[in-house]
Amino acid sequence: MELVQAQIKDMGERALAAKRELITLDGKKRKEVLYAISDAIEKNAEYIKRENEKDLANGRKNDMTSALLDRLTLTDERICGMAKGMRDVAEQDEVVGKVLEEFTRPNGLKLQKVSVPIGVIGIIFEARPNVTADSAALCLKSSNACILRGGKEAIFSNTAIAKIMREAICSCGVNPDCVQLVENTSRDSANALMRANGYVDVLIPRGGSGLIRAVCENATVPVIETGAGTCHVYVDKAADIDMAASIIKNAKTSRPSVCNACECMLIHADIAEKALPRIYEALSEKNVEIRGDERVCAILPEAVAAKDEDWGCEYLNYTIAAKVVDSIDSAIDHITKYGTKHSECIVTEDAAAAEYFMQVTDASSVYHNASTRFTDGGEFGFGAEIGISTQKLHARGPLGLRELTSYKYRIYGKGQVR
């Protein structure tokens, strides 16, 4: 543990030096760096695939599931995708150095609130090697230094990608320590990074709920919690039933493995007998299993009886929980108890009911008559994102470039004292 701590401390010192250089780099130079990296990634595709093959071989040896192996695999197409993603980020608007507010006090002090990089961002992630390049691109564009700590399953791929990125940064005459990869993938290295106060300004975990819980539990560095999504669609008594069926089908089945997928539907009792068969019809096209409470099962013989653990469950597959509720407040109660403050939807033609639901439901994104699947940086128009924040501090919802900034006050005086 001590050795790992010393390694992380050393990386922290380097990151602080790089952060200081980064803050004075202009946007043109950072763009040049991002293009240099994306070119280098494309040029070294064969090398990346060779290293990736080592991770895949280890994965097969360790009986990794085919879903995980798929996430781990880097094809030519995916490598091009990483490079293209980096160029897209390079072309986005600048987010640092913006004067957000400006005002003069009665004593003549002039205050500017200016957007600044967060500083050093630590990112702890799991088996997807493309996160290495995506995270570095977002951090560099927003003038942040980053320390990346990926999972051991992808260590050969991550090391190769990091090496290529650092060489490309160097070739532009910039300090390569603005992107560092922790090559030690022990639990100790993650713990040391979580407690690297004074070096790491903010930690962002990217991965499943187990990882996120471990980071929130152990970190002393401030954390932006991302990810876990148990999203609900509430079908109000004044809903358009066809629209409800279409939204639920989309929110559940268009990509069940992601955090903005719908995991539970709540149906108002007044409309349940008409709505449930229609929703079932839509979901059965994709063979979705419905786990219903007693009232759902009474209406829908095809539903399976839900158990306690079905409420609040993040299935991430073709299963959905379903419950009949007697009022909009019962729906909100259920969401308050079981939701993860990610994305929640009401389907209704009653505008007042929609307003009430959207005001009272506590979530990063609240929808009226649209699929929860839209909670996404690209869909919101923010470009690439580093995750979906489900906490209240700093930023909620998609974390794009702008959410990777902080601010400072610049105060201009003429000798004022108090």
Reported in sequence order, the residue ranges of 25-85 that DSSP labels E, i.e. its strands, are none
Can you give the binding site for a copy of itself, defined by CB under 8 A?
16, 19-20, 23-24, 103, 105, 109, 111, 118-119, 197, 201-202, 216-217, 220, 222-225, 240, 243, 246-247, 249-251, 254, 332, 336, 358-360, 362-371, 373-375, 379-381, 391-394, 396-397, 406-418
R_g of the chain computed on alpha carbons? 24
Which residues are within 8 A (CB) of 119 and not within 5 positions of it... i.e. 6 or more apart? Answer: 19, 144, 145, 201, 202, 406
Alpha-carbon gap, residue 325 to 23, rounded angstroms: 53
- The CB-of-375 to a copy of itself minimum distance in angstroms stands at 8
Query: Is the CB of 244 or the CB of 296 nearer to a copy of itself?
Result: 244
- The CB-of-129 to a copy of itself minimum distance in angstroms stands at 26
Alpha-carbon gap, residue 77 to 74, rounded angstroms: 8
CB atoms within 10 A of CB 91: 12
- The CB-of-128 to a copy of itself minimum distance in angstroms stands at 21
DSSP per position, 233-268: EEE-TT--HHHHHHHHHHHHHS-TTSTTSEEEEEEE
- The CB-of-365 to a copy of itself minimum distance in angstroms stands at 4
Query: Is the CB of 95 or the CB of 133 nearer to a copy of itself?
Result: 95
Alpha carbon distance, N-terminus to C-terminus of the chain:
49
- The CB-of-202 to a copy of itself minimum distance in angstroms stands at 6
Q: Using an 8 Å Cβ cutoff, are 342 and 364 in contact?
A: yes
Query: Is the CB of 153 or the CB of 263 nearer to a copy of itself?
Result: 263
- The CB-of-77 to a copy of itself minimum distance in angstroms stands at 22
- The CB-of-175 to a copy of itself minimum distance in angstroms stands at 14
55, 81, 176, 368, 376 from 48: Cα distances, Å: 11, 13, 19, 44, 28
Query: Is the CB of 115 or the CB of 157 nearer to a copy of itself?
Result: 115
Query: Is the CB of 168 or the CB of 363 nearer to a copy of itself?
Result: 363
CB atoms within 10 A of CB 111: 15
Closest CA to 404 of 222, 197, 204: 204
Query: Is the CB of 148 or the CB of 244 nearer to a copy of itself?
Result: 244
Query: Is the CB of 274 or the CB of 392 nearer to a copy of itself?
Result: 392
